[in-house]
A and B are shown apart, each in its own frame.
Chain A
Amino acid sequence: DSGVTQTPKHLITATGQRVTLRCSPRSGDLSVYWYQQSLDQGLQFLIQYYNGEERAKGNILERFSAQQFPDLHSELNLSSLELGDSALYFCASSVAYTGGPTDTQYFGPGTRLTVL
Chain B
Amino acid sequence: AQTVTQSQPEMSVQEAETVTLSCTYDTSENNYYLFWYKQPPSRQMILVIRQEAYKQQNATENRFSVNFQKAAKSFSLKISDSQLGDTAMYFCVFRGLSTDKLIFGTGTRLQVFP
Contacts and interface: CB of A to CB of B under 8 A. Distances in A.
A90 B50 contact: no
Kindly state the interface size class of chain B when it binds its partner. Answer: 20 to 34
Interface residues of A, number: 30
B71 to A, nearest CB: 20
A86 interface: no
Interface in B33-56: 33, 35, 37, 42-47, 50-52
B102 interface: yes
A97 interface: yes
A2 B100 contact: no
A101 interface: yes
A48 B101 contact: yes
Contact of A88 (B37, B43, B51, B95): B43
B98 interface: yes
